[in-house]
Amino acid sequence: MKKRSLVFSFVWLACGSVVAQTDDYKPMDNYKLEQVLVVSRHNLRTPFTWNNATLARSTPNSWPKWNENGNELTTKGGALEVYMGHYFRVWLQNAGLLPEVGCPEKDDVYIYSNSRQRTVATAQFFTVGAFPSCDITVHHRPLPEKDTWDSMDPIFNYVITNKDSSFKELTRKAMNDKLNSLNLESSYRLLEELIDYKNSGSCKEDNKCSLIEAKNTFIVEPGSDPNISGPLKVGNSMAEALMMEYYEGFPLEQITWGKVLSPQQWQQLMKLRNGYQEIQFSAPMVSQNLAKPLVTYISNTLIGTPKEDSPKLILLVGHDTNIATLLSALQAEDYQLPHQYETTPIGGKVVFQRWSNKNSKQDFLKIEYVYQSVNQIRNAEKLTLDNPPQHVTLSLKGCPINAQGFCLWSDFEKVLKTALR
């Protein structure tokens, strides 16, 4: 399906509550927003500490120093999430889902986060932006001393549970087929030049001097996510670290050691990051297994509970992997995110909206990807009427949308049931 961009359906002024609707939004007059469930990636964080050895050995250059510890939400990431929270508050007020003045009712908002510093802090900053001075609880499990698979909240834990040997083989085949369909040679070449790979410890001490010629190995074991060992993992780690530095606002010459990249080169480099994730989770059978706890939660919330007894706004804060596996499990059509290099960007939100038609009395689903552009993140831009966040309408294979981006709620129920088989 051709990728679609959403008309700016809700915009706001950061310093107030002025909202404008475009002419393209007029068909919404016959619809009422009943419920919103948001699946969010945490906002801007520092590079992962477990990648330190890979980063150090893959280049002779020194990496910039961060103020925060590894794996943690940055101060800037918190500010960006406040902007997004404010934006959602104004939209929901304007749509009539939440009161225009004062705080929402206690049971109308439910915010749940994975048990990680970066996800809990993201949820807290969103709450500050959306509901200042309101008593809104961010629900989460106790934070562990160390990030491990068994310390993940089960709802957000994206690990293989299928122990069948045939599942392993089918998963490896799907990963290998996807890898063969991607042309990553130019991305590897760009990265090797950028990081001076030929003079790195990996080359001089380990005799690993070519990312292009090295082989990838696929690791599929219960209790972990599908893993890739080899040059693509190195490329993923390097590209991700460079992207985080760009987002954080490090000087360009410091990020890439004097080699300032064009937007096209950033796009090329991030094919390694996006490709890694696509290879991991593109097969629906794999994603259905990994995303089952999250899909089950969404199904129980949106279908298993009458809408009048369920919160009007549910925010779930997890990781890019949660979004990638969820969209794959639901068989989302291919999409593009304009003005972004990531397919699951920092702070991005998949927004499931339940609308009712006042005339037909039918319920409809609308899904939007709401996210900040690369420049909005790097420049820490406030989201305003003239500078709104980006919007893309998503569609699911089993839930065809109309011109306004709506599909039948009954079709969405079937999609969820299929994903849970």
* Element housing 284 (H / E): helix 284-302
242-262 burial, b at 16+ Cβ within 10 Å, e below that, comes to bbbbbbbebeeeebbeeeebe
In one letter, which amino acid is 13?
L
Q: Which of 42, 86, 140, 319 is catalytic?
A: 42
* Element housing 130 (H / E): helix 117-130
Q: Are 213 and 185 in contact (CB under 8 A)?
A: no
The whole-angstrom distance between residue 274's C-alpha and the CA centroid of its chain comes to 12
Is 72 buried (19+), middle (13-18) or exposed (0-12) by CB count in 10 A? middle
* C-alpha dihedral, 192 to 194 to 197 to 201, nearest 10°: -150
Select from 164, 168, 167, 118 the least CA-distant residue to 143.
118
Integer Cα distance of 313 and 98 in angstroms: 9
Q: Let me know if 319 is a catalytic residue.
A: no
Please, what is the angle between helix 284-302 and helix 263-281, to 10°? 80
Q: Are 83 and 113 in contact (CB under 8 A)?
A: no
Question: 379: which DSSP letter?
Answer: T
Q: Let me know if 320 is a catalytic residue.
A: yes
DSSP 340-363: -S-SS-TT-EEEEEEEEETTT--E
* Element housing 174 (H / E): helix 165-181
> Three-state SS for 73?
strand
Q: Which of 319, 320, 363, 391 is catalytic?
A: 320
* Residues designated catalytic: 42, 320
